[in-house]
Structure 1
């Protein structure tokens, strides 16, 4: 069931809320996450502000975030005086908005209470919040558990499989019971991935399509399979069916997205050997689609999520052909994969528009810094600095790294790259002039995020 800002504002305007904070939760927070000197906390989905006020009382300086104005109005009223204790109320959609308003120095504690079940791309959001943690910091998730929740209210709870997925990629995981709620303390988000296989393919399944779908922010669509791994949409290519047609059909059957055949582009053919079977995977990129991803085949998938490219290497288990397909499209996002044979079919893969608002902000911030320091020798270079989406050249790195002005390189008037404050030995980020199109490498390398 989907909820938007107006739904939640109405919820709070009508005087409704959620389960009040209980003593057992207060005790667990005191025991597991005591406030360090100068400690900062971020509460996501603060509701009426009861937990934010408690965190302030523990000694944290708190950013309390909710995307519903009605919630924040209630919080300011019911927790009157909490700002004096160190609470800052922020109206923000943590799943979609630019996080620039958050504390730039990070947080010692990030907490989500009774909110994660309502988040769409949970894995991506949790990874993004993990990146906000200071060294030694903790992410705390307090959630109803499906087994303890009546059937008619299961939408507000997480099943054990969802909790297992949430805890993947963390070095330290502690779980406690809080009067029926799962109280999870996650530390050290190291993150890693491994490619996994299914059983031996049937002979008719050796030729398949891997469908790479990106959204308007350049994120890639992956499904969590019932086998406990992440997979691209796709499947076998039927008799008398070509790869783009198979991609269109599979995407509709598995995720409910509609695609025109002209918007499905065959990028490359990958060949590898699986047991005694030669496996051929057609990598098809979809550049336009309609609909909302949904689970259409629950016997195969439990959920669909959009993932930032630089987080793929920390996702845990990824189906091997899907990993190879993504590495073929974005070299570097999943390093260390076994070699496969690649036969590019598109000289210049089709471009895809759209990018996160944060990328635009960081690009202009970087451009201002470079121009102010006198490193942009011409108006053409200044235009390139403000226009070129550099993060597409380094899909394996966070946006903040792609737009670090100390790492950037800009093209000179003669087409050569000149350093923009680049330190010796550090990696440069290439910047072609606006309108230029990088050529495809041997594995169709151009990132069209």
Structure 2
């Protein structure tokens, strides 16, 4: 879904907008599965008006309650809440190092995870802030239980399965129509690489596009075929690789770039189902816009990823995308399938 802007949330709360109150079933599950240890610390992300944060504090936690709506936080602070510290923070764009350095015993995202765009990267940064034995808890509506016009507030079963990947245990409970996921023991998987089924017969030539944001994060899409992949695709007739890369980037993500600024770094050749496959590794520098899903029949969403996280993805990379990434960051990805690589000299 489209990522909401902070002023939209401010308007939501200023206009009297509220979210579903914390229910008895949720309170019972939190008490049963996430009791506060001695000196326990909790992080409530997307805290809104602070109801969950106050409940966690009443259960024995010291709580950092985070939201990016100053309107919501101002109202939350008007309720006396010993043990709760409210902070304004954008968990996707701000530096999470400003959160407590001692880590957390529990991190909770209640009714907020569906609004996070770069979910994989955010989860990786959050799991780094769990104390040993700590848990990450996501409480979310499920897509199959909400009306079609409200699917944007919920996670479907595929997203819930993806959320639980990369943990030693991923327990799921039900609370009055909400899924309560308790994730423990970060367990990054070994890197995996996969194809996406048999292509239609054709001379397979195309481009894979590496584009990074101002922080150096690389853009990957979560495909409907169950792999992470770079923007890119096949050449049109008489179209060179740089032009194909820029066209596909805009068609797939809405990001716009100048073909003159696209650089072919290498030509890669492997085979798929007995058909030779040629992929140009193209690096695009400057671009304008924000990535959005323009072809939902092919792609679930686009996320900016830290390059250091790429070897630890819990789901496989599309093999040609992995080879393109290895061209730009040699040696980053271990155990790549074989490929013929023909570097292209700059200039």
Same fold (TM over 0.5): yes
* Equivalent residues in 2 for 1:17-28, closer than 5 Å: 17-28=18-29
- Say if 1:145 and 1:158, in contact at 8 Å, map to a contact too: yes
Give, in whole Å, the separation in 1 of the partners of 2:221 and 2:183.
24
Structure 1 residue 203 displacement after superposition: 4.8
Structure 1 equivalent of residue 131 of structure 2: 134
- Say if 2:221 and 2:299, in contact at 8 Å, map to a contact too: yes
Structure 1 equivalent of residue 324 of structure 2: 325
Q: Quick one: structure 1 residues 218 and 115, their matched pair in 2 at CA, closer, same or farther if it must change by over 3 Å? A: same
- Say if 1:269 and 1:282, in contact at 8 Å, map to a contact too: yes
Greater shift in the superposed pair: 193-202 or 143-152:
193-202
Structure 1 equivalent of residue 49 of structure 2: 48
- Spell out, residue by residue over 1:102-129, the C-alpha distance to the aligned partner (whole angstroms, 9 max, x if none): 0112111111001111112122112211
Are 1:293 and 2:294 counterparts? Answer: no
- Say if 2:270 and 2:277, in contact at 8 Å, map to a contact too: yes
Structure 1 equivalent of residue 239 of structure 2: 241
- Say if 1:174 and 1:184, in contact at 8 Å, map to a contact too: yes
Structure 1 equivalent of residue 99 of structure 2: 102
Give, in whole Å, the separation in 2 of the partners of 1:305 and 1:116.
14
Give, in whole Å, the separation in 2 of the partners of 1:34 and 1:205.
59
Structure 1 residue 347 displacement after superposition: 4.3
3-state SS of paired residue (2:13): helix
Structure 1 equivalent of residue 264 of structure 2: 266
- Spell out, residue by residue over 1:134-164, the C-alpha distance to the aligned partner (whole angstroms, 9 max, x if none): 1211110001111111122222111112212
Give, in whole Å, the separation in 2 of the partners of 1:129 and 1:95.
11
Give, in whole Å, the separation in 1 of the partners of 2:142 and 2:345.
47
Structure 2 equivalent of residue 114 of structure 1: 111
Structure 1 equivalent of residue 38 of structure 2: 37
Are 1:310 and 2:308 counterparts? Answer: yes
* Larger proportion of strand: 2
Give, in whole Å, the separation in 1 of the partners of 2:264 and 2:256.
17
Structure 2 equivalent of residue 360 of structure 1: none
Structure 1 equivalent of residue 152 of structure 2: 155
TM-score of the two chains, using structure 2 as the length reference: 0.94
Give, in whole Å, the separation in 1 of the partners of 2:310 and 2:327.
14
3-state SS of paired residue (2:93): coil
Give, in whole Å, the separation in 2 of the partners of 1:203 and 1:145.
39
Higher relative contact order (CA 8 A, sep 6+): 2
Structure 1 unaligned regions, length at least 5: 349-449
Are 1:222 and 2:220 counterparts? Answer: yes
Greater shift in the superposed pair: 109-118 or 196-205:
196-205
Give, in whole Å, the separation in 2 of the partners of 1:31 and 1:228.
34
Structure 2 unaligned regions, length at least 5: none
- Say if 1:191 and 1:313, in contact at 8 Å, map to a contact too: no
Structure 1 residue 37 displacement after superposition: 1.8
- Say if 2:311 and 2:333, in contact at 8 Å, map to a contact too: yes
Give, in whole Å, the separation in 2 of the partners of 1:62 and 1:10.
26
3-state SS of paired residue (2:202): helix
- Say if 2:205 and 2:235, in contact at 8 Å, map to a contact too: yes
Give, in whole Å, the separation in 1 of the partners of 2:341 and 2:297.
32
Give, in whole Å, the separation in 2 of the partners of 1:7 and 1:255.
23
- Say if 1:190 and 1:314, in contact at 8 Å, map to a contact too: no
Structure 1 residue 208 displacement after superposition: 1.7
3-state SS of paired residue (1:171): strand
For residue 183 of structure 2, the aligned residue among 183, 186, 200 is 186
3-state SS of paired residue (1:35): coil
Q: Runs ≥4 in structure 1, deviation > 3 angstroms?
A: 200-203
Aligned length, in residue pairs:
344
Structure 1 residue 197 displacement after superposition: 1.2
- Spell out, residue by residue over 1:347-376, the C-alpha distance to the aligned partner (whole angstroms, 9 max, x if none): 49xxxxxxxxxxxxxxxxxxxxxxxxxxxx
For residue 250 of structure 1, the aligned residue among 238, 241, 248 is 248
Structure 1 equivalent of residue 6 of structure 2: 5
- Say if 1:44 and 1:110, in contact at 8 Å, map to a contact too: yes
CA RMSD of aligned residues (A): 1.6
* Equivalent residues in 2 for 1:325-364, closer than 5 Å: 325-347=324-346
Q: Quick one: structure 1 residues 34 and 220, their matched pair in 2 at CA, closer, same or farther if it must change by over 3 Å? A: same
- Say if 2:255 and 2:290, in contact at 8 Å, map to a contact too: yes
